[in-house]
Structure 1
């Protein structure tokens, strides 16, 4: 497995397992299957509502002697209703308890806006809008910095943060985010964000690296004809081409494709035995339409990316 070096000097695997919608026994088995397939990086979040089965899986892997804790790179995320500075530490401790771990390798601010503490992960107020609180990202970040300074977490970062928000945070923080996790795939390539993150030493992790069906149309790298044709030349699937493309774009990018099917996990991690040509990279670059499959405005009534 290839790794990238974070600004903390920690090594993050270039390919990890996304776990959104992996719940109950499916989530538990997904961790075990992914570990057997060679994955050592696992991306979680409190809002995914699957911490307990994930924790049981990590405990089984470690107690069975298959791996030491330091062999795993485990990420989780602070949800929007815990952005008040005094809630950050309790939220982190709750996640550690659920996961049956002593520390996380990476803890991210899931979204750069705050909700009231009593709000559900996806909730609406009496007027039909997502309730928000007036808590700046910088205030939440200071509490995240305290976690790091106390040695409770190995690295801290953000998620879904634009260049403008990241620059504002960068100018005022003591500890530069180690990671910015964002949606990134052939139809939403984010070249300016990649360039800026490289300049200031922030690693990028791409979620939804294959896209998926979206309201605006089919945004699915697994069956796009351009990627299918390129895959035929290398005897690889279109999905493998899309994931390999991310690897070659920058050493500063890791990916977290999600699946609960072991055969798909194996396919997604089997992308280090071929290389795309410069002309193939250019052909894929032409697919960019800045199309997000995560409709933030529909979910939260906040046009974050507009």
Structure 2
């Protein structure tokens, strides 16, 4: 497994398992299948609603003697309803309790928006948008810095944070975010954000690295795109493997967290380190960029930070 070095000097695996929508026994088994396939990085979040079953899977791995806690790189995220500074530590402690862990390797601010506390995890206004609350990201970040300074977490970072907000945070913080987790795939390449994060020493983790298909989101599916399918044929690989490999070759400052609960897909997604795309193929994929987000802050929060 390839690794990148964070600004904390910690090593983050270049590929991990995403766990969004991984529920119940499927979520539990996905962790175990991924571990057996060679995954050592796992991306979680309170908002995914699966911390307890994921925690049981980690406990099983540790109890079996197959791995020690320090062998895994585990990430989770602070949800929007607990952005008030006094709520950050209790939220972090609850996540550790749910996961049956003593610490996280990385804790991220899930969105650069606060939502009101006491109205459920996903409070909505009369228009159907998630409610927002006036808590500045800088205030939440100070509480995140306290977690790090007390040694409670190995690294802290942000997610879904565009250049303007990241730059403002960068200019005023004591501790520079170690990671910015954002949507990156062949149809949403965000080259300016990628370049900026490289320049200021913030690692990027790419979520939805294959886009998404169907459901409530627009269909943006790397697994079936003809250009990626054709490139895959030349390497005896799937289009999905080509899209993941492109991200790995694109920059050493990017890691990826494809999600799946299917054992065969989990194995397929990690089987991308035995081939290399040519410069011409990399250029072909670069031309697919449409700046097309499938996770849209405007649609969720009525705040168009990605535009």
TM interval, short-chain normalised: over 0.9
Deviation per CA, 1:231-255: give whole Å up to 9, x if none.
0000100000000000000000000
> Is 1:54 paired with 2:54?
yes
How many residues align structurally?
306
Q: Which residue number corresponds to residue 221 of structure 1? A: 222
Q: Which residue number corresponds to residue 84 of structure 1? A: 84
Indicate the SS of the match to 1:257: coil
Q: Would the alpha carbon gap of residues 121 and 300 (structure 1) be closer, same or farther in structure 2, given more than 3 Å must change?
A: farther
Q: Which residue number corresponds to residue 178 of structure 1? A: 178
Check the 8 A contact 1:103/1:152 in 2, yes or no.
Answer: yes
Indicate the SS of the match to 2:219: strand
Indicate the SS of the match to 1:15: coil
Deviation per CA, 1:178-204: give whole Å up to 9, x if none.
000000000000110010000000000
State the alpha-carbon separation in 2 of the partners of residues 38 and 249 from structure 1.
Answer: 22
1:84-123 alignment runs, 5 A limit: 84-123=84-123
State the alpha-carbon separation in 2 of the partners of residues 93 and 119 from structure 1.
Answer: 21
Q: Which residue number corresponds to residue 304 of structure 1? A: 305
Q: Which residue number corresponds to residue 144 of structure 2? A: 144
**TM-score, length of structure 1 as denominator length:** 0.98
1:32-43 alignment runs, 5 A limit: 32-43=32-43
State the alpha-carbon separation in 2 of the partners of residues 40 and 140 from structure 1.
Answer: 29
Q: Which residue number corresponds to residue 262 of structure 1? A: 263
CA RMSD of aligned residues (A): 1.1
Check the 8 A contact 2:187/2:291 in 1, yes or no.
Answer: yes
Q: Which residue number corresponds to residue 134 of structure 2? A: 134
> What is the CA-CA distance between 1:212 and the residue it aligns to?
1.1
State the alpha-carbon separation in 2 of the partners of residues 113 and 10 from structure 1.
Answer: 27
Check the 8 A contact 1:122/1:300 in 2, yes or no.
Answer: no
State the alpha-carbon separation in 2 of the partners of residues 193 and 130 from structure 1.
Answer: 25
State the alpha-carbon separation in 2 of the partners of residues 120 and 34 from structure 1.
Answer: 32
State the alpha-carbon separation in 1 of the partners of residues 119 and 140 from structure 2.
Answer: 17
Check the 8 A contact 2:217/2:295 in 1, yes or no.
Answer: no
State the alpha-carbon separation in 2 of the partners of residues 208 and 145 from structure 1.
Answer: 27
Check the 8 A contact 1:122/1:299 in 2, yes or no.
Answer: no
> Is 1:230 paired with 2:245?
no
Check the 8 A contact 2:89/2:147 in 1, yes or no.
Answer: yes
Indicate the SS of the match to 1:134: coil
Q: Which residue number corresponds to residue 245 of structure 2? A: 244
